Structure 1
Amino acid sequence: MTNESANPINVLLICGGGSSEHDVSLRTADFIQQELGKSAEFQLTRVTMDADGRFIDADGQLRELRSDKLLYNAGGSAQPVDYVIPAIHGYPGETGDLQSQLEILGLPYYGCGPEASKNCFNKVTTKLWLTALGIDNTPYKFLCAETAEEFAKAQDALSQWGSVFVKASNQGSSVGCYQVSTPEALNEALKDAFKLSPYVLVEKCLNVRELEVAAYEYHGELVVTPPGEVRAPSDTFYSYDEKYAEDSRAETFVEAEGLSEGQLDWIREASRRAFVGLQLKDLSRIDFFLTDEGEIYLNEVNTFPGMTSISMFPKMLKNQGHDFSEYLGTLIHNAVKLT
């Protein structure tokens, strides 16, 4: 792939964000920076967003992105920005907030748009959309207030299902997610979850295999990879720490074994239906549960999956025979052409 212009494309890589996923975002940015660094046609500037939403460059200096599509430094000088990579997990990168700002500025960017990001980040909204699209998802109840009446709904679910997951609706990467099996533990988990989100999801706990699909756009075509598999240690669920810790005990397999053609076809179709129906763009990681009884549920849609050394999305893309730097470079070229 060659640059049609003699001038490099100016790419702004934004990472950090100040949320509980700040550090993982930095590691994702390291990977993206390494991949874009393989080509001289991209002039990359990296800034880290702090908890106050300020951009700080590698020299510790404040930078500001303004409506003229220029990135200013404290001295008043500026450089052009042609394309933005919002490599932020959680708020405000996966919630649609940062994407809304980029839309206002008229800057093309990597990843899903504001509405798709917001819909997929909210676990309750995601389930409503999946049901509307005819995609099976885990049995659940959702709580809209920290009241005795709402807590009673959760206790009824626990009595019915025996064990449940409590999830803060507006958190990512298993943050605010608790597995409980006693009424006392349930009340504590609900209180903790409501500290993180105004809505709380209570899901039926199932014995499952955890499958993950990379769905992304490559040279104008939607690619859905065969599902990979994550096997968490038997004594825990796939927590935030197990997902991203360098010494994680979770095992990952880039292609899951033992699935029937019918199961593979349904996972592929559900992934395609979710990507198109939710109007995703550029990339996603779509996670499924396969129960002991052979039922398949779509668990969640990640609009900006992690890209660390142990992350599944880049592994599955590579296993598909695609080069990440070419994939991202092509997206950048196509987006810049349209502006």
Structure 2
Amino acid sequence: MSQPTPTPIQALLICGGGGSEHDVSLRTADFIEEQLQNVSDIALTRVVMDASGRLSDRNGGVHYLSQQRQLVAEDGSTRDVHYVVPAIHGYPGETGDLQSQLELFGIPYFGCGPEASKLCFNKVTTKLWLTALGIDNTPYQFLFSNSEEEIAKATMALRQWGAVFVKASNQGSSVGCFRVTNEEQMAEALTQAFALSPYVLVEKSLKVRELEVAAYRYAGELVITPPGEVCAPEDTFYSYEEKYAEASRARTFVEAQGLSQAQLAWIHEASKRAFAGLQLKDLSRIDFFLTDDGNIYLNEVNTFPGMTPISMFPKMLAHAGHNFSEYLSSLIRQAIA
């Protein structure tokens, strides 16, 4: 007698979000969908979230996620949800809000938890935690209002450091990030940054090499890849457009060259310490700056890195000899075992 076919795992891919990184989230979802399309024991349903939190399928049908762990359509039909892939960059995916809802409903999901997501998405709290963990990061000031007193702090930092980056604290993918080299630029940069976030980071501008590692759980072990490198055009920084535009002039290298064993060891140890100390889960991309005089700073932790055709995380995972489809499908099976 033939054995009955096992019921496939019902996975829900949520993408979009309606925010500044909506389109990039859709491209990340394309990659994830492609990776899971031939996995026979996982049935994937894709929905797009808009700015109001409404979920729509490919045909425009509207759904909501219920506490009974089901995707409910307007006509009342339901589909079980065993696992969620929250492929949303920025709010509400990378900020921990969506993860909080999934935890409330008892649905396992791909990626970091609510607390780690929220900590790492806020550039100010990230730096405070990195300092507490003993991990060097770039010199900075943080501002809590666009008031005369706070503007004076930013101006003093500019005079001391010569050039700074003004960054909205609660944005990803270099959204709300402005390089300031004179006091005339400061007011406009702060106005734009505060329009996007209640807190603003003023960070020392350094001449650096930009290094990135992929950190992820594979077969139960934490993998820290050798650092890759991003080389932005000399006339700009690694902006949103340079990260994701088809015409990007940025060059990426899956493994950086010319680093000493001591530098590689420091980056590896700092990545491990950040992954453990910030209680990250499943994956992250951890970014570093290497200065001309050999100092290394941890720049930021991205709890749900981009997975577009030019994104570094999937390239570094593959370079480490791991298959993304096997990686994600094994995490899904483990989570619902």
Give the whole-Å Cα distance in 2 for the aligned partners of 1:99 and 1:260: 39
Give the whole-Å Cα distance in 2 for the aligned partners of 1:38 and 1:181: 51
SS of residue matched to 1:115: helix
Taking structure 1 as the reference length, the TM-score comes to: 0.98
Give the whole-Å Cα distance in 2 for the aligned partners of 1:70 and 1:271: 37
Map of 2:327 onto structure 1: 327
Give the whole-Å Cα distance in 2 for the aligned partners of 1:237 and 1:161: 17
Map of 2:138 onto structure 1: 138
1:110 aligns with 2:86: no
**Residues 144, 54 of structure 1: CA spacing in aligned structure 2 closer, same or farther, 3 A cutoff?**
same
1:254 aligns with 2:254: yes
Map of 1:214 onto structure 2: 214
Give the whole-Å Cα distance in 2 for the aligned partners of 1:234 and 1:276: 35
Map of 2:100 onto structure 1: 100
- Alpha-carbon displacement from aligned partner over 1:54-83 (angstroms, at most 9, x marks no partner): 000011010111000111111101010000
Map of 1:175 onto structure 2: 175
Map of 1:227 onto structure 2: 227
1:76 aligns with 2:76: yes
SS of residue matched to 2:51: coil
Map of 1:122 onto structure 2: 122
Give the whole-Å Cα distance in 2 for the aligned partners of 1:199 and 1:72: 38
SS of residue matched to 1:294: coil
- Superposition deviation, residue 334 in structure 1: 0.6
Give the whole-Å Cα distance in 2 for the aligned partners of 1:19 and 1:293: 38
SS of residue matched to 1:187: helix
Q: State how 1:1-339 maps to structure 2 within 5 Å.
A: 6-337=6-337
SS of residue matched to 1:202: strand
* Letter of the structure 2 residue corresponding to residue 135 of structure 1: I
Taking structure 2 as the reference length, the TM-score comes to: 0.98
* Letter of the structure 1 residue corresponding to residue 200 of structure 2: V
- Alpha-carbon displacement from aligned partner over 1:256-284 (angstroms, at most 9, x marks no partner): 00000000000000000000000000000
- Superposition deviation, residue 5 in structure 1: 7.5
- Alpha-carbon displacement from aligned partner over 1:2-29 (angstroms, at most 9, x marks no partner): xx98110000000000001000000000
* Letter of the structure 1 residue corresponding to residue 145 of structure 2: A
Give the whole-Å Cα distance in 1 for the aligned partners of 2:263 and 2:216: 20
* Letter of the structure 1 residue corresponding to residue 217 of structure 2: E
- Superposition deviation, residue 246 in structure 1: 1.1
Give the whole-Å Cα distance in 1 for the aligned partners of 2:23 and 2:195: 21
List, as ranges, runs of 4+ consecutive aligned residues in structure 1 with deviation greater than 4 Å.
none
Give the whole-Å Cα distance in 2 for the aligned partners of 1:134 and 1:72: 47
Instruction: Give percent identity, aligned residues only.
Output: 71
Give the whole-Å Cα distance in 1 for the aligned partners of 2:125 and 2:270: 17
Q: Which structure 1 segments of 5+ residues have no match?
A: none
* Letter of the structure 2 residue corresponding to residue 88 of structure 1: I
Give the whole-Å Cα distance in 2 for the aligned partners of 1:76 and 1:329: 29
- Alpha-carbon displacement from aligned partner over 1:205-253 (angstroms, at most 9, x marks no partner): 0000000000000011000000000000010000000000011000000
Give the whole-Å Cα distance in 2 for the aligned partners of 1:145 and 1:65: 37
Give the whole-Å Cα distance in 1 for the aligned partners of 2:305 and 2:237: 19
Give the whole-Å Cα distance in 2 for the aligned partners of 1:52 and 1:67: 19
The number of residues matched between the two structures is 334
- Superposition deviation, residue 204 in structure 1: 0.3
Give the whole-Å Cα distance in 2 for the aligned partners of 1:271 and 1:62: 41
* Letter of the structure 2 residue corresponding to residue 264 of structure 1: L
Q: Which structure 2 segments of 5+ residues have no match?
A: none
Give the whole-Å Cα distance in 2 for the aligned partners of 1:215 and 1:131: 20
SS of residue matched to 1:141: strand
Give the whole-Å Cα distance in 1 for the aligned partners of 2:331 and 2:251: 31
* Letter of the structure 1 residue corresponding to residue 259 of structure 2: L
Q: CA RMSD in A?
A: 0.9
SS of residue matched to 1:111: coil
- Superposition deviation, residue 38 in structure 1: 2.1
* Letter of the structure 2 residue corresponding to residue 67 of structure 1: Q
